[in-house]
Amino acid sequence: MLIVLADTVFPDSAIERNVLAEAGHELVIADSPDQAVELLPEADGVLTAFLDLSAERIHTMKRAKIIARYGIGVDNVDVAAAHSQGITVTNVPDYCIEEVATHTVAMLLSLLRKLPEADRHVRAGGWGVAGVRPLRRVSELTIGLIGFGRIGRLVAETLAPLGPTLLASDPYARSVPDRVRLVEQSELLAASDAVLLHAPLTPGTAGLIGTETLLTMKPGALLVNASRGGLVDLTAVTDALRDGRLGGAALDVFPTEPVDLPSISDIPNLHVSSHIAYYSEEALRESQHKAATQIVRVLAGEAPDYPVVPPKESE
């Protein structure tokens, strides 16, 4: 069967090609988004990272049995439209848990210890603590995690030995470890010295951290987002950093990417990275192999490992 690779975001596609070839399938790699769209009517399966698979485009997919997305989110796929046509949608929800958790903790500790500021202080000829005051002891802090799935749990597990009070807010969490207290989001925001975002992007979570939310947070609190850029109103956050209501923020993801540089220039205590929290060489290989494997399973009439259910069916 014909499998269309809609966008090549990896160094090469040898893993997918080998997995699919072993099952007797042909892989065609689109040269551009326009060519990928042209190939959709012929595809028995589609592998994609970022191609916009709207309802209109999905309706052209007369042969397809599966859309397999690299990565966790499926924001670019109209899952309901796919299911209405009998097309299975899959993702890879467990491929970069360690990487995103590690990146989140690294960003948090960098904010808490003011490492970029310390670096600039030394390079400017300074020395001692004057350039980084005040610093807080981690064990005296309250850290809140909004979203407590695989990544949030690993972040909490990583931070626990440092001794902070850990809060979590997640409407779907049924249980939490002993070191974590499950609370309402409003309580978490009001009590936390640092807020870490690990929620999916949905209509209900878009703009989760905005002007009103920021006013409910502790003065001088920190914010870390390595989850979805749309969870944060970037203008509201940069305004809060400028006027000192937020003590610092670390962002790996942005509502629009690449980020508009003037919008983040000269912002005090803002640490940024370029949507790399998911990345390690091992994570990329895992994502490629697992996404291609979902194609093979579904086309063989087997159940996928990672089916994505339309929102209306999960409510």
Q: Residues with catalytic annotation? A: 228, 257, 275
User: Please, what sign has the CA dihedral across residues 201, 206, 208, 211?
Assistant: positive
- Distance (Å, rounded) from C-alpha 251 to C-alpha 209? 12
Q: For residue 30, give the nearest of 52, 51, 1 by alpha carbon.
A: 51
- Backbone torsions φ then ψ of 46, nearest 5 degrees: -130, 130
- Distance (Å, rounded) from C-alpha 40 to C-alpha 3? 9
3-state secondary structure of 170: coil
- Dig out the tokens for 230 from the structure: 């749309």
Alpha helix ranges (H) inside the chain? 14-22, 33-39, 55-58, 79-84, 97-113, 115-123, 150-159, 185-191, 211-216, 234-242, 281-299, 311-314
- Distance (Å, rounded) from C-alpha 101 to C-alpha 122? 29
Burial of 315 (0-12, 13-18, 19+ CB in 10 A): exposed
User: Please, what sign has the CA dihedral across residues 294, 60, 31, 80?
Assistant: negative
Q: For residue 43, give the nearest of 299, 288, 289 by alpha carbon.
A: 299
* Residue 195 CB neighbour total at 10 angstroms: 30
- Distance (Å, rounded) from C-alpha 194 to C-alpha 205? 19
CA distances, 294 to each of 12, 62, 74 (Å) = 19, 19, 15
